[in-house]
Amino acid sequence: QVQLQQSGPGLVKPSQTLSLTCAISGDSVFSDSAGWNWIRQSPSRGLEWLGRTFYRSMWLHEYAVSVKSRITINPDTSRNQFSLQLNSVTPDDTAVYYCTRDLSMRFDYWGQGTLVTVSS
């Protein structure tokens, strides 16, 4: 059974960097069939896919156009986890952030969600 456990602060100041981590159990970040994603949800934007990292003989990354200039998703192979960094946040980035596993871009396992509020 795959489990994803999220951690990170729930409050970030405007212009700073949002950082979250997702610990994987029951699977490996090196999986050659899975991808490791971040998705957020807010009343204004609904569910919004942000990006993913995945291993196919090398580490690959894909990001949504809407956040491509501000986002980094990285694996942490020593801890079997992956992280999200979103730079230069504004109140519009306030949302519940989820980490998820994908198999062929269907999201079958989700973290518990982290409400991140951007406010001074």
Binding residue (CB under 8 A) for another protein from 20, 52, 81, 84: 52
Distance (Å, whole) CA 106 – CA 119: 33
Q: Which stretch binds another protein (CB under 8 A): 16-24, 25-33, 84-92, 101-109?
A: 101-109
Assigned token pair, 37:
């994603």
Q: Which stretch binds another protein (CB under 8 A): 17-25, 72-80, 87-95, 98-106?
A: 98-106
What is the closest distance, in whole angstroms, from the C-beta atom of residue 91 to another protein in the complex? 22
Residues in 78-97 at the binding interface with another protein, rule: CB under 8 A: none
